[in-house]
A and B are shown apart, each in its own frame.
Chain A
Amino acid sequence: MLTALYIMLGLALLLGVVLGISALLFKVEGDPLVARIDAILPQTQCGQCGYPGCKPYATAIANGEADINQCPPGGDAGARALAELMGVEYKPLNAEHGVPKPKSVAFIDENTCIGCTLCIQACPVDAILGAAKHMHTIIASECTGCELCLAPCPVDCITMQPIAETPDNWKWKHPVIPIVAMPAHGSNASL
């Protein structure tokens, strides 16, 4: 009787120590949920969700302050992925926050640019290159298409250009099987 008690007590202590050590050893830094939500978000950093970037929106979702359908660049697929991760019902995108657009990059008309640096300050990913009173230009490969540079431009020299299809980024399409009207055969009719 006592032996059994001692064994159980010993086991409990041992497991307690193991758990305590592993809690210290494998401590998770930061909130893993925020990081997982952030991984789904498209990182456009456009702020259409009403938060100043993707991470703040992810934090808001994790805290239950924001809904999962506020991210137009993420599209329908993004909303579905968020719904699955959060274990909530899927909701279609909230049109209040904008509608999904084809992926574009900003383009600066270099003849009009006056070099005011306002767009440089607005760019959330530092994808605009330039200096005061010098012409600015967009690093297209790093532009997320957030459109945040459009509003501050005093001469409206920035336009959004949809990314054109080239043999490089061309994708095979989902096979489409054309529906052909079959001539009505006599034999078929008799069946």
Chain B
Amino acid sequence: MNSIIQFATQLIRGHAAAPAAADVHKFHGGVHPNGHKLASTAQPIAKLAIPEKLVLPLRQHVGYIPKIKVSVGEHVLKGQMLAEAEGTLSAAIHAPTSGTITAIGEEVIPHPSGLPDMCITLTPDGKDAWATLTPVDWRNTDKKELVASLRASGIVGLGGATFPTHIKVRADGRSQVHTLVINAAECEPYITCDDMLMRERADEIVKGMEIVKFLLGAEHCIVGIEDNKPEATVSMTEACKSLANTSVKVVPTLYPSGDARRLIHLVLGIEIPHDKRSTDVGVQVFNVATVLAIYRYFAFGEPAVNRIVTMTGSVNKPQNFEVLFGTPLQNLIDAAGGAKTGTTHFIMGGPMMGFDLPTIEVPITKAANCIIAATPDLFAAPPPAMPCIRCARCADACPVNLQPQELYWFSKSDNFEKARDYNLFDCIECGCCSYVCPSDIPLVQYYRYAKSEIIAADKAREAADLARERNEFRLARIEREKLERAQKHAERAAAGKAESAKPENAAPEQTAAEAAKPAAMPAADDAKKAAIAAAVERAKALKAAAAQAGDAGNQPKETVAESKKPADKKPVDDEQAKKDKQALIAAAIERAKAQKLAAAQAGTTPKNVDNVSPAVQAEISEIEAIREKAKQTADTKDAD
């Protein structure tokens, strides 16, 4: 693969040395749809008035959604940053005019889904007051700083792809770009915004080319223009004279010559391998409008706040307008003299690659290069699709050299893996295959369907892999925790065993207990040992006393209780008190025995009537009387 790139690099170097000798290198396939461009080029570019309301979707570019920096009610100046680029692939959004932020919420955006998305609504104050702008002296500034500042400019590819521009010029030195190609082919029917821009502002475009050339470190610059734009070719050729190593190359009108890879092939004769980028062969492509925006940003500090939009089709005065981002579509239609009767819907982008707008209530975004008012006369409803007859006209028309008929079969039958194998993702959705299909099969729709299904499946697989990983980690964690707990239990059990064994057989167990104990607290251990020894002494003395008393029934319990007592008591006092208590208990037992004996002789239950007050005694006798009565009644009942 590297040898191919090297060969390709040599090839362009060779071409660059002798550009005049090189001819246009035709690519495979392509179609010739009717241009319809003349209608909108009759008038110069007009500036659209500031509307009453601007709705700025956060999703205006390829990549991550930017982070909102303003809040509702805040007053902003023209060019102030409203949302900041977040993540690598993202672009900032700026206020197109001065005014107040009146809402931040979901609005319908120009997207084929017709779904609402997060938007910032700005109500202009009519002053159109710029924020403080800081032009950049790009010739005397570090390239890294320039690229970082470009990240804050909000400039994206204005050809329609809306790829953040700062990514394309990143100065990481990974690939050496030697040729800058300026895409001015504008191959889609109806669209004339780049054509008009080149006619009117060629000098500014060339100044932008100089900046981009400097940023990329490119030696050569080639402007590729289709031969249906002679005025633009003349003005660009004139303007390009001021820039060294720059040439304008006229390419034959053939759709889709405006596709970056097709244009590189046309002007340089290089076919980029399908898994490589154009920078891998040392070429980078920029759209004319993007280059102009870069010039305005560096020369005047103006961020991306407007663009040229072609308003054409079934309107009274088709024309190109300079439109602030966020302008409602209705304002644009009104400026073009209103839509003619019979207009059914509006198309954003060209008729080949664009999509039908879900509603008229959508704003103009960075991607909106052209709005076409459609009528059934201009765009007849497609006749019902007929079966594929395997004529392979689509394969002849495919500019990417794919096999559209095969892709159609696989997509239609949901055989997505096979579609991927046939390089479905190399399809640029240009629509040439659908255009030539004699059976009127909406081929591109099938490819879009298959692509989005595959992307969704890939995302689901990624999520499943993440879930598997997290589940496995969780199971491992639970297992580990269980082991740890078991270990802790075992340790505690071992320690407890050693502890309980100590008092019974102090001398032999001492060493084992000591070994089990941590060696960190020897002093505490010594104190404990002394206490235990004292307790053992006491226990022995008690046992001896109990043996003397000759009443072993209550003794063991007493010793256990005693051993639990705090060890700070003096053993001598303790023994004395114990002996006294022992004597008392013995006396009580004697008394109880005597009572029991007396009760047995008298035939009544024993009563604890020693040392009771006269009141209690009276109560007891009362209860006795009641009991006696009850007994008597029970006896008489029994007799009955």
Write the residues of chain A forming the contact surface with B, with a CB cutoff of 8 angstroms.
38, 41-45, 53-55, 124-127, 142, 144, 165-167, 169-175, 177-180
Cross-interface CB contact of B467 among A44, A166, A172, A175, cutoff 8 Å? A44
Chain A residues near B442: list those with CB within 8 A. 175, 177
Known: A54-B468, A54-B471, A125-B470. 11 other contacts (CB 8 A): A42-B460, A53-B475, A55-B468, A124-B474, A142-B466, A166-B115, A174-B449, A175-B385, A177-B385, A177-B442, A179-B384
**Smallest CB–CB gap between A49 and chain B, Å?**
14
Cβ of B487 under 8 Å from chain A: no
Among B445, B446, B453, B468, the residue within 8 A (CB) of A171 is B453
Q: Is the CB of A126 within 8 A of B113?
A: no
Contacts A/B (CB < 8 Å), 30 sampled:
A38-B468, A42-B464, A43-B464, A43-B471, A44-B467, A45-B471, A53-B471, A55-B472, A124-B471, A126-B473, A126-B474, A142-B467, A142-B470, A144-B463, A165-B113, A167-B109, A167-B111, A167-B115, A170-B111, A171-B449, A171-B453, A171-B456, A172-B445, A172-B449, A175-B385, A175-B442, A175-B445, A175-B446, A178-B384, A180-B384
Least CB distance from B64 to A in Å reads: 10
Given the complex of chains A and B, what is the CA–CA distance between A71 and B50 in angstroms?
Answer: 58
Residues on B lying within 8 angstroms of A by beta carbon are: 59, 109, 111-113, 115, 117, 384-385, 442, 445-446, 448-449, 451-453, 456, 460, 463-468, 470-475
Structural contact, B112 and A172, CB atoms closer than 8 A: yes
Closest Cβ of chain A: how far from B386's Cβ, in Å? 10
The answer to whether B470 and A177 have CB atoms under 8 Å apart is: no
Instruction: Please give the distance in Å from B99's CB to the nearest CB on chain A.
Output: 26
Closest residue of A by beta carbon distance from B470: A125
B464 to chain A: closest residue by CB: A43
Chain A residues closer than 8 Å to B470, beta-carbon distance: 125-127, 142
**Contact A144/B445 with A167-B117, A180-B384 known, Cβ cut-off 8 Å:** no
Closest chain A residue to B106 by CB distance?
Answer: A166
Shortest Cβ distance from residue A93 to the other chain B in the assembled complex, whole angstroms: 18
Q: Bound state CA distance, A180 and B385, in angstroms? A: 12
Q: Quick check: B448 and A172 within 8 Å, CB to CB? A: yes
Residues of A within 8 A of B451 (CB): 172
Complex-state Cα separation, A35 to B165, whole angstroms: 43
Cβ contact within 8 Å between A171 and B452 = yes
**Which of B452, B463, B464 is the one whose CB lies under 8 Å from A172?**
B452
Residue of A nearest to B59 (CB): A167
Tell me, in angstroms, the Cα distance from A126 to B385 when the chains sit together.
Answer: 50
**Is A165's CB under 8 angstroms from B467's CB?**
no
**Least Cβ distance of A118 to chain B in Å?**
16
Q: How far is the CA of A179 from the CA of B385 in the complex (A)?
A: 10
B446 contact set on A, CB distance < 8 A? 174-175
Complex: chain A residue closest to B385, CB-CB: A177
Instruction: Looking at the assembled complex, report how far the CB atom of A168 sits from the nearest CB atom of chain B, in whole angstroms.
Output: 8
- With a cutoff of 8 Å between Cβ atoms, the chain A residues found around residue B384 in the complex are 177-180
Chain B: minimal CB distance from A135 (Å):
22
Task: Decide: A175 near B449, CB < 8 A? Known: A125-B467, A142-B467, A167-B59.
Answer: yes
Residues of B within 8 A of A174 (CB): 446, 449
Q: Is the CB of A165 within 8 A of B112?
A: no
Contacts of A126 in B (CB 8 A): 470, 473-474
Contacts of B113 in A (CB 8 A): 165, 167, 170
By a CB distance below 8 angstroms, the chain B residues around A43 are 463-465, 467-468, 471
Residues on A with C-beta less than 8 A from B464 are 41-43
Chain B residues within an 8 Å CB radius of A173: 449
Instruction: Write the nearest CB–CB distance from A78 to chain B, whole angstroms.
Output: 11
In the complex formed, the residue of B with least CB distance to A144 is B467
Q: Which residues of B contact A165 (CB under 8 A)?
A: 113, 115
Listed residue (A44, A125, A178) with the most chain B CB atoms within 10 angstroms of its CB: A125
Q: How far is A127 from B463 in the complex, measured between Cα atoms in Å?
A: 12
Q: What are the residues of chain B within 8 A of A54 when measuring CB–CB?
A: 468, 471
Give the shortest distance, in Å, between A128 (CB) and chain B (any CB). Answer: 11
Least Cβ distance of A96 to chain B in Å? 24
Contacts of B468 in A (CB 8 A): 38, 43, 54-55
Q: Provide the bound-state CA to CA distance between A170 and B115, in Å.
A: 9
- Shortest distance between the CB of A174 and any CB in chain B (Å): 5
Residues of B within 8 Å of A38, CB to CB, are 468
Distance in Å from the Cβ of B110 to the closest Cβ of chain A?
10
Assembly CA distance A126 to B465 (angstroms):
14
The answer on a CB contact under 8 Å between A125 and B445 is: no
Residues of B within 8 A of A179 (CB): 384
Shortest CB-to-CB span from B19 to chain A, Å, is 42
Alpha-carbon gap, A127 to B466, bound state (A)? 11
A107 → chain B closest CB, angstroms: 17
Q: Taking each of A53, A165, A166, which has the highest tally of chain B beta carbons within 10 Å of its own beta carbon?
A: A166
Q: Tell me how far the C-beta of A79 lies from the nearest C-beta in chain B, rounded to whole angstroms.
A: 15
- In the bound assembly, the distance between CA atoms of A102 and B466 in angstroms comes to 20
B403 to chain A, nearest CB (A): 19
CB-CB under 8 A from A169, the residues of chain B are: 456
How far, in whole Å, are A126 and B449 apart by their CA atoms in the complex?
34
**Residue from the list B115, B117, B474 in contact with A125, Cβ < 8 A:** B474
For residue A179, which residue of chain B has the nearest CB?
B384
Chain B proximity of A59: nearest CB distance (Å)? 13
Q: Which residue of A lies closest to B442 (CB)?
A: A175
A166 touching B117 by the CB < 8 A rule?
yes
Residues of A within 8 A of B463 (CB): 43, 144
| Complex Cα spacing A124 to B475, Å | 8
When distances are taken between beta carbons in the complex, the residues of chain B under 8 Å from A142 are 466-467, 470
Closest Cβ–Cβ distance, residue B623 to chain A (whole Å): 53
Chain A: which residue is nearest B447 at the CB level? A172
Q: Find chain A residues with CB under 8 A from B472 CB.
A: 55
CA distance in complex: A155, B586 (Å): 62
A102, chain B: closest CB distance, angstroms: 13
Task: List the B residue with the shortest CB-CB distance to A74.
Answer: B464
Q: Which 9 A-B pairs have the closest CB atoms?
A: A170-B113, A43-B464, A172-B448, A43-B467, A171-B452, A125-B470, A175-B445, A43-B468, A172-B452
Most chain B beta-carbon neighbours within 10 Å: one of A144, A175, A180? A175
Q: In the complex, A167 Cα to B385 Cα: how many Å?
A: 28
Q: Report Cα–Cα, A174/B109, bound state, in Å.
A: 22
In the complex, what residues of A have CB within 8 A of residue B466's CB? Answer: 142
Bound CA span A179–B111, Å: 27
- In the assembled complex, how far is the CB of residue A75 from the closest CB belonging to chain B, in whole angstroms? 11
Give the residue among B109, B456, B473, B474 with the most A Cβ atoms within 10 A: B474
Nearest CB on B from A9, distance (A): 46
Instruction: Please give, as numbers and ranges, the residues of chain A lying within 8 Å of B111 by CB-CB distance.
Output: 167, 170
